[in-house]
Structure 1
Amino acid sequence: MTDYGFRSRFAAQKPWTPLRYSPWHEALWQFLSTACLAFGAWYIIWRWMFSVNFEALWFSIPLLVAETGAYLGLFLFTLNLWSAKSPELPPLPVTTRDCSGDPDAPERPLAVDVFFATYSEDPELVRQGLQAAKALTYPHPIDLKVHVLDDGKRPAMAAVAAEEGVNYITRSDNLGFKAGNLRNAMTVTGGDFILICDADMIPFPTFLEETLGYFRDEKVAWVQTPQWFYDVPPGVPLPAKLERRLGRPGRWLGQAVERVVGPIQLGEDPFANDPQLFFDVILRRRNWANASFCCGAGSIHRREAVMEAALRQWSDAIEAEAGRDEASARRLTGETAIAESIKSAMRWQGALDTEFQPYKFHVSEDIYTSIALHSDRERGWKSVLHPVPQARMLSPNDLLSWMLQRFKYAGGTLDIFVTDSPLFRPGLTGAQKLMYAATFYSYLSPIWNVIFLVSPIVFLLTGIAPLAGYSLDFFIHITPFLVLNELSKLVSTWGNSNSKGRAWYLATFPLSLQALWTVLRGKKIAFPVTPKDRQVGTYGRLVRWQIGVVVLTLVSLAWGWVAYAQGRHGYGLGAMLANTLWGLTNASSMLPIIRAAFWQPDAEFESEIVAGKMHPHQSKGEEAVSP
């Protein structure tokens, strides 16, 4: 039986401890972030009013638009992180009455269905999750049922389900992919709550004990838990690494650095898979706005909420279709009104033609479900991000798998924004719309990131500045903004290093642009299953644009400093220093993803593959994410 790393060196890793809420910490963050936004607005206004280079508007205006766009993204990001307050976990419910809000409701033990959605994954991988799900604990009587949702219709998977004593569910078609798989399972199960697991997810025994308490609030529709990847290389803490080189003074130096910037692990996961920054900071801090969205695996849903939202959307779709049909009929017949019997027939036909979808048939069905529930103003459904990881999963261990996953995330999210944006959906509160806007807006960042990457190269090669001049006035306006931006980020993510995340955010511009272009052309985003095994080989072709940025930046730096030494027009010292720092920052941001493309596991990791603990497979389909 394949072990998939459970007895590997990674098995001893423990999930992160959530950041503690501190009102003093939050007050400091809010002060610094407000000051940052104020100085940022001062800088942007000054840029538009006093620094435009009218002799090079083709260069100056795009950079100004990019800076303004990035500032708006910073404003939305600040709103996202504004408050870390989250609901407290109430006592665990004993019976269904405790979750209904009705003191006269009948009492019976809670019923929980655990869904493992699978398609092509190794059945032995799924077995690990099934065994863990059967071991879920709860201090009160509970009706727990575990189900395998196999869209692959594989006898081997059915055999594993039978051996583990769990229910095996399949269907005649794969309509709707994962969303359709979940919908089909809902029609043949009846639990009060549904725990959604991916094929590689291993729930901790305490999952239900850590989440079901929130459902004492009858308005809570789902609880999302962080996705934690246990199989990433843990790396070596900076103090330990320096101690090996410099002795005890090295440890002291490393500890001093970490006190300022947070923990630093050398040799850790080269793919920036660690999701703590997203779950423990970004998504957790949407609790204040009731806008923490569902991320699929690791979430538990109130069946009533999912079904009711689906029924409401189904009814609205029928009414909308009937309205269009009625308008067409009036145009065709010239009548000013249509008989009620004909209207009823139109609604009936619409009901037959409209698919009932508890989970939207979409590559990002989890976010779609979140939007549908949040926008139900009549019921006022709530969501909660529980900050403590309650499961472990496998992460992409090669750049191709990583890009397949991220392309699906980016394309699916952008498709919702373009085709069915919640920003114009009735029912969502203003705060919820702002939180969803922050999500969608972040995927537009490659538009201005490309300009930021190209701008120092253009100046260094041509001597043409994108602003009127790199004067003292420029540095007076930009310096406090940049300093406060760094300080506020350090405080907001205290205990989490965000340097790698920011580097990847900038370096993934080709992938994000490809996702945006795909959506704008109206092409459908595919439903690729992220490979669970490491793919063999290196992927230099996937980072050719990032390599190009590094090479062009270094060449332009050499050219620019030679021009400065020769005293050529336009190459002032202030301009050279600013663009050198800018260019080197850009180039260094490309290095992590380039390194990931050529990363190979160390000898110990390879020995596990040779021993059969991990099964590498040569991958096909690089073109799917090769912009």
Structure 2
Amino acid sequence: MRVSKHQLTQHLDDLAYPTGMPLPDVDILIVTHDEDVALLRKTVNAAVKLRYDNSAGVTVCIADDGNRPEVAALASDYGVKYVGLSGNTEAKSGNINHALKTLKAPLVAIFDADMIPYSTFLDASVPPFLQNWAQMQEDQNQKPLGFLQTPQSFYNADIFQYNLFSENIVPNEQDYFSRDINVLNSANGAAIFTGSNALFLREAIDAVGGFPTDTLTEDFELGALINLQGYVSYSTQVPQASGLSPLDLKGVITQRKRWARGVMQSCRNLRIFTNRHFPAVNRLILINSYLYWWSFFRRVIFIMAPILFALFNQPVVMANFWLLMCFWAPGYFLQHWVLGDTSGPIRNERWGEVQETFFAPFLVVPVLLESLGIKEKKFIVTDKSNKTSWRDRLYLLPYLILWGMILLALIKFNYGKFGSEILYGSVITFWLLTHFINLTFCLFIASGRQLFRSTERFSRSLSGVVQLGRVDINIQTIDLSDTALKFKLVDVQTSLIGVGEDHTVTLQVPNEKPIILQGTILRVFSLDDGVYAVMQLQEQDQTPEQLNAYLRLVYDGANANLTSEQDKWITTLDVLWLNVMHRVENWRKRINRRLTEKVKRGKSL
């Protein structure tokens, strides 16, 4: 009997260790190319303290295809295995395959350099394998579990959340696939491997000859090959690691081009349409993955069709109003009803249209070229540094051109019409307005938003004390970041600490040693419910042990400052108005600032 998506994921996320069953050894493989060592350090720092009753059987390994001395030194600092590689010509796959030759555990976890595992990763991912092994002993027809994929989660806002001031309105754009689509794939035993945060049966990787090297998406192809060998794959809903989402336009678009080209390459390598060895469900999932990248071509057609008719008098479909309503309206509203019923709390169709419109101008050509066999062979690692330059403004051009054409089409098509003419043209006007709104969002996204913070804040509530001479003041933390913490004074109505003062804070961590931190008070402020303070931390003022413990605390869990479900009370029109108001206010401040500077310069002269 096949279980539902909800039943399966709830079962997997709630599994505990079977009683009396020995825990297997696990290899933790952290894959790096040229990522910043400070970023890599956070991932290694978390990996060495994963919770596991067989901690002696856990081997943490850094696979570095840059063969960098500073990464080797980092491995030495944490006492983990280092496997360097020079002259790698097979990108991420070559790096992983090279490192796997030195590892022997029956289970191996794969992490990208920026994906920081939670302390519960092994507790959440090992039990499904143990259950599967027990079931195989009882039932010879039970298929072995090849890998368990936990969601691709991120601790910072993505480009849609941040640039649209929507961190608390919509989840990360990738949540829709990781926590919805791939979980649905999982209900059929054919979850897709998404490159990181997954635990593998080493035997399954070896059975397919290691990570494939003739594709830009080795993760997608490896998962399909493992399924083809008779292994099942599952995906869970609860994140067990979080990474850094790129915020610069070039990084985001380059990443999606690589995914599009890679999936096309892998589907060609796998022969998904003709390979008779694929079970029907697996084939359907792979075909769906292939066709998804063609949806952007469809989006461009949908945008251009009403423009061609309204602006250039070139009909795409020969039909009168009533015939168009008979064929178009039922399908359109049925699609909205079905997607609204199946999309869950993560994303609705309107947000899907905005995100699809954003990527469409840049994915059509790569998909067409890859389909014609013109391959992109260079593997480009996504830059997570969020660097922007004047060239990023060039990404505005496609949206600006289409937006201007739709505005002209709206004016030309509706100018001078009255009564029934407006009714008969309502379908064209509806699609023009829909695309006009979507492209306005794209302009806002591509215009960017100033990034003020260099580190992310995490909502963490812990008890602690601030030492003030011989007196300890009880505190409760509110937010933590790499370099600062915000806390509330408990049972104190007036501030006993001042800005600029140096203090020692001791945080009480459940089931762990207290964390002692040195810092300087940056800000003290009072609210109706008490006195709050912000303390600045300097790395050189902390011992390495205390700093490592603090960083593990910061990154051990999802960032509650970001929403995991869409706020259905706020519509896309509400978000559109919110963005207009924010940008008008920003422009007003800039104008006032420039006028003030001119006045000051005039007075000085």
TM-score with structure 2 setting the length = 0.67
Shift of 1:296: 1.2
Distance 1:109 1:476, change over 3 A: closer
Deviations 1:121-142 (A, max 9, x none): 1112111111111111124565
Q: Write the distance in 2 (CA, Å) between the matches of 1:295 and 1:480.
A: 36
Q: SS state of the match for residue 185, structure 1?
A: helix
Distance 1:269 1:117, change over 3 A: farther
Q: Write the distance in 2 (CA, Å) between the matches of 1:589 and 1:425.
A: 39
Q: Write the distance in 2 (CA, Å) between the matches of 1:432 and 1:235.
A: 31
Within a 5 Å distance, the mapping from 1:378-397 to structure 2 comes to: 380-397=230-247
Aligned to 1:186: 100
For the pair 1:309 / 2:161, whether they are aligned, the reply is no
Within a 5 Å distance, the mapping from 1:33-52 to structure 2 comes to: none
Aligned to 1:436: 286
For the pair 1:228 / 2:153, whether they are aligned, the reply is yes
Aligned to 1:137: 51
Shift of 1:267: 3.4
Shift of 1:504: 1.6
CA contact (8 A) 1:271 1:593 kept: no
Shift of 1:308: 1.6
Distance 1:122 1:602, change over 3 A: closer
Shift of 1:161: 0.8
Aligned to 2:412: 559
CA contact (8 A) 1:94 1:109 kept: no
For the pair 1:288 / 2:187, whether they are aligned, the reply is yes
CA contact (8 A) 2:187 2:234 kept: no
Shift of 1:502: 2.3
Q: Write the distance in 2 (CA, Å) between the matches of 1:236 and 1:541.
A: 21
1:593 aligned to which of 434, 442, 449? 442
Within a 5 Å distance, the mapping from 1:67-82 to structure 2 comes to: none
> What amino acid is the match of 1:423?
F
Shift of 1:587: 2.1
CA contact (8 A) 1:136 1:207 kept: yes
Aligned to 2:357: 506
2:384 aligned to which of 529, 532, 536? 532
TM-score with structure 1 setting the length = 0.65
Distance 1:363 1:404, change over 3 A: same
Aligned to 1:364: 217
Shift of 1:209: 0.7
Q: Which has the higher strand share?
A: 2
Q: Write the distance in 2 (CA, Å) between the matches of 1:474 and 1:517.
A: 30
Q: Write the distance in 1 (CA, Å) between the matches of 2:438 and 2:266.
A: 29
Distance 1:236 1:418, change over 3 A: closer
> What amino acid is the match of 1:309?
V
For the pair 1:582 / 2:410, whether they are aligned, the reply is no
Within a 5 Å distance, the mapping from 1:57-76 to structure 2 comes to: none
CA contact (8 A) 1:309 1:372 kept: yes
> What amino acid is the match of 1:365?
E
CA contact (8 A) 2:155 2:456 kept: no
CA contact (8 A) 1:179 1:362 kept: no
RMSD between aligned residues? 3.1
Deviations 1:220-257 (A, max 9, x none): 000000011111179999xxxxxxxxxxxxxxxxxxxx
Q: Write the distance in 2 (CA, Å) between the matches of 1:233 and 1:84.
A: 26
Aligned to 2:85: 171
Within a 5 Å distance, the mapping from 1:66-465 to structure 2 comes to: 84-86=6-8, 88-89=11-12, 90-92=15-17, 109-140=23-54, 143-216=57-130, 217-218=132-133, 219-232=144-157, 266-268=165-167, 273-310=172-209, 357-376=210-229, 380-465=230-315
Q: Write the distance in 2 (CA, Å) between the matches of 1:559 and 1:275.
A: 38
Distance 1:158 1:515, change over 3 A: same
Q: Write the distance in 2 (CA, Å) between the matches of 1:447 and 1:138.
A: 47
Q: SS state of the match for residue 28, structure 2?
A: strand
> What amino acid is the match of 1:86?
L
Q: Write the distance in 1 (CA, Å) between the matches of 2:35 and 2:169.
A: 24
- 4+ residue segments displaced more than 4 Å: 233-237, 269-273, 602-609
Q: Write the distance in 1 (CA, Å) between the matches of 2:55 and 2:78.
A: 21
> What amino acid is the match of 1:436?
L
CA contact (8 A) 1:235 1:269 kept: no
Q: Write the distance in 2 (CA, Å) between the matches of 1:399 and 1:291.
A: 32
CA contact (8 A) 2:40 2:114 kept: yes
Distance 1:462 1:128, change over 3 A: closer
Deviations 1:410-456 (A, max 9, x none): 11011223444323223211111011100100111233222211111
Shift of 1:119: 1.2
Deviations 1:102-156 (A, max 9, x none): xxxxxx6411111111111111211111111111112456500101111111111
Deviations 1:523-570 (A, max 9, x none): 3342111112111235221232222111101111111122646x9xxx
Aligned to 1:625: none
Q: SS state of the match for residue 8, structure 2?
A: coil
Distance 1:590 1:525, change over 3 A: farther
CA contact (8 A) 2:211 2:218 kept: no
CA contact (8 A) 1:270 1:596 kept: no
Aligned to 1:619: none
Q: SS state of the match for residue 251, structure 2?
A: helix
Q: Write the distance in 2 (CA, Å) between the matches of 1:175 and 1:442.
A: 29
Deviations 1:470-511 (A, max 9, x none): 433432443333223222222212322333232121332222
Q: Write the distance in 2 (CA, Å) between the matches of 1:558 and 1:510.
A: 24
Shift of 1:463: 4.0
1:541 aligned to which of 371, 380, 394? 394
Distance 1:465 1:535, change over 3 A: same
> Gaps (5+ residues) in structure 1?
1-22, 27-82, 99-107, 238-264, 311-356, 614-627
For the pair 1:522 / 2:444, whether they are aligned, the reply is no
Shift of 1:386: 1.3
CA contact (8 A) 1:232 1:269 kept: no
CA contact (8 A) 1:179 1:361 kept: no
Aligned to 1:63: none
Distance 1:189 1:505, change over 3 A: same
Deviates more, 1:464-473 or 1:523-532: 464-473
> What amino acid is the match of 2:265?
D
> What amino acid is the match of 1:92?
Y
Q: Write the distance in 2 (CA, Å) between the matches of 1:148 and 1:94.
A: 32
Q: SS state of the match for residue 484, structure 1?
A: helix
- Name which structure has the greater RCO, CA cutoff 8 Å, separation 6+: 1
Shift of 1:91: 3.7
The number of residue pairs the alignment matches comes to 442
CA contact (8 A) 1:194 1:300 kept: yes
Q: Write the distance in 1 (CA, Å) between the matches of 2:101 and 2:19.
A: 26
> What amino acid is the match of 2:149?
Q
Shift of 1:515: 1.6
Q: Write the distance in 2 (CA, Å) between the matches of 1:270 and 1:533.
A: 25
Q: SS state of the match for residue 61, structure 2?
A: strand
> What amino acid is the match of 2:85?
R
Q: Write the distance in 2 (CA, Å) between the matches of 1:302 and 1:441.
A: 29
